[in-house]
A and B are shown apart, each in its own frame.
Chain A
Amino acid sequence: MANILVIAEHDRGQLKLATLSAVGFARQVVADAGGTFEILVIGENIGGVAGQLCHCGAATVLTAAHALLQHPVGDKYARIVADATKERGATMVVGAASTFSKDILPHAAALLDAGMLSDVVEVRGDGDDFIFKRVMYAGNVIATVKLEGPVKFLTVRAAAFAHPPKVAESSPIVSLPVTADKLPQFTEYGGQEAKVAGRPDSTEARVVVSGGRGIKNAEDFERLVGGLADALGAAVGSSRALVDAGITPNSLQVGQTGKIVAPDLYIAIGISGAIQHLAGMKDTKVIVAINKDPDAPIFEVADYGLVGDVYQVVPELTEKLKT
């Protein structure tokens, strides 16, 4: 029996898809061991997000809405999570492995004196208890662990648990009372630096389209890489060469000295495949490379390769995807 509380993550009215992996985890545990799960949405004006979660199979979708909770501030959110855990009698609290969860769940676990596991990729029952597998040392070691205590906090890797199919019946939405003066005031929201609007973050996206030295200027990058990315609903990335040349901003760089991405699909456009770049995308499931140089090392790691001029091939590909 498990009574699971899933913490939903959202941004500007949009549910973060990784939350569905946490729901997938909860569904699996409940299916194996019995019990129910609930989903907790915290914020202000969260009706829309709660609505998006109504067909996930949860016993209840809980909402904790208050003006003070407009932004994900660690101390306040953790208090809400801890209170909800106690009140609902949850035995397991789950979030997707993300910066959001890293901030809030350990904090909440500490408030309840509970154990915490991060980056869980597998779970199975062990009598009344559970055995988890979690990733350590940058993916080089998989640890098999048990967690002591009546309440377990954990984060799950998005790629490890599939999004659950929708269910017909709708979960009831229950609003939790929020008392403003009971919320801690240690942290204050300062501001948020918004990234290039519209496109997902490359570290979270399931598809990343990335451009390299084969692209000559910023307009071409936006047209070729951006165009293909938008057609796929993908994030954009870039190699260091383009950042150096001032064609792309630092925030897009993928590689050893940039972001580490692990999407399902990575499309490398005009990227030669230097080890520093490959180090940033080595956990990609499927790599597609487009480059005019058939000797480019990228073709050695690519699952699909296309030798051709990116200026000709990419617009064609984008066009076909659109139709």
Chain B
Amino acid sequence: MQPTRETFGNIPHSSQVIFYCLTMVTMAVFAYGIWRRFKLWRQGTPIGIQELIVGNLRQIWWKIRPGVGRLLTEGLGQKRVRGRGLASWAHGLLFAGFMILFLGTTLLEIDHLASGISEALHFHRGNYYIVYEFTLDVFGLLFLIGCCLFLWRRTTRPYSVGHKTTDWFVLGFFIAIGITGYLVEGLRIAWQQPTGIAAQCSPVGLLIAQGLSGMSNAAARSAHLGIWWVHAMLVFGFIAAIPYTRLFHTLAGPFNLFLAPPVLGTLQPISMEEVEKTERIGVSQIAHFNQRQLLSLDACMECGRCEDACPAHATGKPLSPKQVVQDLKRVMTAAFAPGGTKPDSTAPNLRDIIQAETLWSCTACNACVEVCPVRVDPLTLITDLRRNRVGEGELSGTAATALRRIQSSANPWGLPAAERSNWSEGLGAPTCKENPGFEVLYWIGCAGSYDRRAQRVARAVVKLLKHAGVNFAILGREEKCTGESARRLGDEFLFQELAQANIATLARYNVRKILAHCPHCLNSLLKDYPQFGGQYEVIHHTQYLSQLLRIGRLKIPTSDGADDAGAVTYHDPCYLARVNGIHEAPREVLSATLGATSKPAGLREMQSNREKTFCCGAGGGRMWMEEDPNQRVSTVRAKEALATGAKTVAVGCPFCLTMITDGLATQGSSARVLDVAEILAERLKL
């Protein structure tokens, strides 16, 4: 006889009927729970989700392909869940166990229905049965191990991990479901008495059955029925509870993964028509967020990774990305709940929920966006709120002054636009007018143009380009601020004004390829400008220099007994490394430069590097705001840099240059802060 077991074996017909009735009730409670949240999301501004299913199958596939890809790699593959030690392991085990048990139960039901039609369709037997039983037994153990790890973590949880009393019930339910599942199996083996492989393919069940060997067959049968019911009721309870507990992330998370576009470094533009129609800029009420943003609030299950990654939070500022998401979720739930206030009439103004200090503390470093396992985007939520506050004239102080200056003089320091190209006097850097046949445009940015310190970086780049014989040009006085800071601060229309002016200038000179030493300019030209018709190939100067070194147009002289300047560490700028994935090029330039000295001191890495870099504190318009000396992001980063023992901190961004210099000075350090280009130019004695 081939190994198998009867589905609903030992379960009387009456119990089966009740079981299916309860299944229907459970599914109804489950569906209602989802519907309840779905209604909340629908209150947001439409995202045109129906667009996804317009067209022929091929077109639909191309539209949903990226989302499906994310579901497979980041959902099933758990790609973004990894990297948090024990918690990631616990989640991986629990998730794997759960998915296999869920799949197994589904297959069992299919087999049951199939066998009901014809015995010939019954497939739950033979070798299939053996593999099935063994797999489920093993994954059941993984599931339980995952639960226990989570239980341990919940008792010793870090501050950033959210907690509700229901979390204990959820874990308790899971463990009880696992244990009763094994008991049912053990009791089934105890009364069914399978032999050989049919018993051995369920090792855990067999072990339990051996422990129950003294039990009479009748006792085993009645205990089996009893425990089976307990197991079934627990499963019903768990399924019904999903939309009402933290477990809802198992649905909202994948939905969000499917719908969330990769957003690092991009922001949705606002049009004047839109503002005229809605009579508002940005978001002041919960219903002003779009439907996907509202859904993302439910996807958050408070794992706290964003809070741990947030530089503002790490320096004691009143901002936690997780808290912003959770606060908004609370408003969404309350504002749209039955009997609750309706949007637009008496809905609470988010001004009263998310404090101004919280919004303006954000450095827009994207660490929270990058780290979220289900692609919740706290930064866009914050920027949308900022847009409204700026539109309402609620930004005051030095940042508002910077915006005014950007508007009047096209640079945030309010220095005369006529002096924009003074830095290049005597350098022989041709303007587009002087060299219309240029191959690459060197974009200087406001810091490179006006900041005496950053001007040296621009000069070093020009010297290197000339040394390598690159056919380049600069815009000179025709260049204006890219508006990056203005956009991240929430002044969308100031940004658009500048973007349109710059795009017109770049079009006049037929610019295709842009070289920039400022990652903020780079990101804006690369990701903001295409939204307004400016398409360019934009590369960072470290990438360009690394290419020039590789093809031999820049050559580092062999050891000439140059002084060993000591160890060097490199600080990754957020908008270069994290947002645009550029982190190897600067290291290549540095290694090439250092490797050729007589005593290669080597490049030392800080603890937070590459995509996981820690902000310098200047992004998101924070460069223009006063920061409490005890809460400076730059100080934290400077300490991390000093901990490497480096004598030189290399940077690739003029804002980082300012902030890290300042941070090191407050530490009383004499370490030098230099741009990668300056280090290379120094080595080449330019």
CB contacts (< 8 Å) of B451 on chain A: these are: 274-275, 297
The answer to whether B454 touches A138 (Cβ under 8 A) is: no
The answer to whether B302 has its CB under 8 Å from any CB of chain A is no
Contact flags B431-468 to A (C-beta < 8 A → 1, else 0) = 00000000000000001001111111000000000000
CB contacts (< 8 Å) of A141 on chain B: these are: 408
Q: How many Å from the CB of B395 to the closest CB on chain A?
A: 14
Among B409, B454, B624, the residue within 8 A (CB) of A256 is B624
A138 and B405 in contact, given A257-B625, A275-B452, A275-B658 (Cβ under 8 angstroms)? yes
CB contacts (< 8 Å) of B626 on chain A: these are: 257
Q: How many Å from the CB of B115 to the closest CB on chain A?
A: 77
The answer to whether B453 touches A274 (Cβ under 8 A) is: yes
A275 and B665 in contact, given A138-B405, A244-B629, A297-B452 (Cβ under 8 angstroms)? no
Chain B residue nearest in CB terms to A300: B452
The answer to whether A274 touches B408 (Cβ under 8 A) is: no
Tally A residues with Cβ within 8 Å of B: 22
Range for the number of chain B residues in contact with chain A: 20 to 34
The answer to whether B454 touches A241 (Cβ under 8 A) is: no
The answer to whether B666 has its CB under 8 Å from any CB of chain A is yes
The answer to whether B666 touches A241 (Cβ under 8 A) is: yes
Contact flags A102-143 to B (C-beta < 8 A → 1, else 0) = 000000000000000000000000000000000001111100
The answer to whether A275 touches B447 (Cβ under 8 A) is: yes
Residues of A157-202 whose CB lies within 8 A of B: none
Residues of A234-279 whose CB lies within 8 A of B: 241, 244-245, 256-257, 273-276, 278-279
Contact flags B631-670 to A (C-beta < 8 A → 1, else 0) = 0000000000000000000000000001001100110000
The answer to whether A138 touches B408 (Cβ under 8 A) is: yes
A90 to B416, CA, bound (A): 38
The answer to whether A223 has its CB under 8 Å from any CB of chain B is no
The answer to whether A275 touches B409 (Cβ under 8 A) is: no
The answer to whether A140 touches B662 (Cβ under 8 A) is: no
The answer to whether B414 has its CB under 8 Å from any CB of chain A is yes
Among A140, A244, A273, A274, the residue within 8 A (CB) of B414 is A140
Q: How many Å from the CB of B78 to the closest CB on chain A?
A: 45
Most buried by B among A245, A256, A274, A300: A256
A281 to B459, CA, bound (A): 24
The answer to whether B415 has its CB under 8 Å from any CB of chain A is yes
The answer to whether B413 has its CB under 8 Å from any CB of chain A is yes
The answer to whether A278 touches B452 (Cβ under 8 A) is: yes
Among A140, A244, A257, A282, the residue within 8 A (CB) of B408 is A140
The answer to whether A241 touches B665 (Cβ under 8 A) is: yes
The answer to whether B414 touches A301 (Cβ under 8 A) is: no
The answer to whether B453 touches A275 (Cβ under 8 A) is: yes
A274 and B662 in contact, given A279-B415, A282-B415, A297-B453 (Cβ under 8 angstroms)? yes
Residues of B406-433 whose CB lies within 8 A of A: 408-409, 413-417
A279 to B413, CA, bound (A): 6
The answer to whether A213 has its CB under 8 Å from any CB of chain B is yes
A189 to B46, CA, bound (A): 55
CB contacts (< 8 Å) of A256 on chain B: these are: 398, 401-402, 413, 624
The answer to whether B404 has its CB under 8 Å from any CB of chain A is yes
The answer to whether B625 touches A275 (Cβ under 8 A) is: no
Q: How many Å from the CB of B12 to the closest CB on chain A?
A: 79
CB contacts (< 8 Å) of B666 on chain A: these are: 241, 244-245
A300 to B452, CA, bound (A): 7
The answer to whether B629 touches A275 (Cβ under 8 A) is: no
Q: How many Å from the CB of A48 to the closest CB on chain B?
A: 39
A140 to B419, CA, bound (A): 11
Closest 6 CB pairs of A and B: A297-B452, A137-B408, A275-B451, A244-B629, A279-B413, A257-B626
**Which A residues lie at the B interface, using CB under 8 A?**
137-141, 213, 241, 244-245, 256-257, 273-276, 278-279, 282, 297-298, 300-301
Known: A138-B408, A244-B629. 13 other contacts (CB 8 A): A137-B408, A138-B409, A140-B417, A256-B402, A256-B413, A257-B626, A275-B413, A275-B450, A276-B658, A278-B452, A282-B413, A298-B452, A300-B452
A-B contact pairs, 24 of them (CB 8 A): A137-B408, A138-B404, A138-B405, A139-B414, A139-B416, A140-B408, A140-B409, A140-B417, A141-B408, A213-B665, A241-B662, A257-B398, A275-B450, A275-B451, A275-B452, A275-B658, A278-B413, A278-B452, A279-B413, A279-B414, A282-B414, A282-B415, A297-B453, A298-B452
